[in-house]
């Protein structure tokens, strides 16, 4: 099957392209190939390619900046997805769109399933939830996948890195490192998201899915495992969110449960610690 992966040079897009190319005719599209905020660009690109599936990883994911530039965030995360959904619907293309754990407010304090009601706390999360609604309601053949704390071998283009690469850099540059221990999530490598996306494509199932590793941890526990695995010597200390300037509201708990993947019997996601240790072998 021919697949078009939008944002193919990004952190998630790179692994999707590599994994899905093993079984499909996967074509990577970057910003120079398609501008999702422009309906004409979307129509021209997808009419020319005629893929069976479009996978959209393009996003405005600079959370603090979204507070300053809400129109830009909404244009990419909201209107851009609407453009894709409309064109995919017209051309009979299946749309797979990636969203975020940040659509929840964290008050549940237990893993969120696809049945839980979102309540986004910041502009970024609101625009991502809007994109979910556009994907699911404007395209009959759509799938929305929520992910959490992603990291991959290619750093996030917008952020200039990911948590793992940032921690390794800080360990080299700083006399000590402090990481919050009161934000709980489930870090997930993009490789495993790509693998489980492949399984979901084979099932042909649409709708809403959570796709994160198993278990949960604080950012500090995540960092501590990096320190222990790579034997970093820089002192690492636990801190509170309140110790840092609060530029934007974030959920203190955003763990996802892969309920719908389990229903289909295709949940391949490993425990976050096992996945991290495997990933860190590339740094040893």
* Owner of token pair 């990096």: 226
Distance, CA of 214 to CA of 180 (rounded, Å): 21
Of 112, 124, 191, 220, the catalytic one is 124
Tokens of 12: 């998630």
Distance of CA 5 to the CA centre of its chain: 14
Q: Cα separation of 225 and 216, whole Å?
A: 13
Q: Are 140 and 95 in contact (CB under 8 A)?
A: no
* Residue 102 is among the residues annotated as catalytic for this protein: no
Decide: helix, strand or coil at residue 59: coil
Neighbouring CB atoms inside 10 A of 133's CB total 15
CB 283 within 8 A of CB 232: no
N-term to C-term CA, the chain = 37
Q: Give me 136's structure tokens.
A: 């699911």
CB 91 within 8 A of CB 4: no
- Residues noted as catalytic: 124
């Amino acid at each position: 099957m021919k697949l078009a992966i939008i944002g193919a040079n990004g952190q998630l897009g790179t692994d999707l392209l590599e994994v899905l190319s093993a079984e499909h005719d996967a074509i990577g599209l970057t910003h120079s190939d398609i501008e999702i905020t422009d309906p004409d660009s979307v129509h021209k690109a997808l009419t020319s390619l005629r893929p069976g599936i479009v996978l959209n990883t393009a996003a405005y994911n600079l959370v603090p900046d979204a507070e300053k530039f809400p129109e830009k965030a909404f244009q990419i995360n909201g209107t851009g997805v609407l453009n894709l959904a409309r064109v995919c619907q017209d051309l009979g293309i299946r749309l797979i769109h990636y969203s975020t754990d940040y659509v929840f407010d964290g008050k549940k304090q237990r893993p969120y399933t696809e049945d839980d009601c979102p309540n986004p706390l910041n502009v970024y999360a609101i625009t991502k939830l809007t994109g979910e609604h556009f994907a699911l309601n404007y395209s009959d053949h759509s799938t929305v996948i929520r992910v959490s704390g992603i990291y991959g071998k290619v750093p996030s283009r917008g952020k200039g890195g990911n948590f793992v690469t940032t921690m390794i850099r800080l360990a080299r540059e700083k006399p000590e490192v402090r990481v919050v221990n009161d934000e709980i999530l489930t870090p997930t490598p993009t490789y495993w998201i790509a693998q489980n996306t492949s399984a979901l494509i084979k099932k042909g199932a649409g709708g809403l899915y959570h796709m994160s590793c198993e278990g949960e941890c604080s950012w500090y526990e995540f960092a501590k495992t990096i320190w222990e695995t790579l034997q970093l010597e820089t002192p690492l200390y636990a801190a509170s969110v309140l110790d840092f300037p609060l530029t934007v509201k974030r959920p203190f708990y955003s763990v996802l449960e892969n309920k719908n993947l389990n229903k289909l019997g295709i949940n391949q996601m490993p425990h976050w610690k096992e996945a991290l240790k495997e990933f860190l072998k590339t740094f040893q």
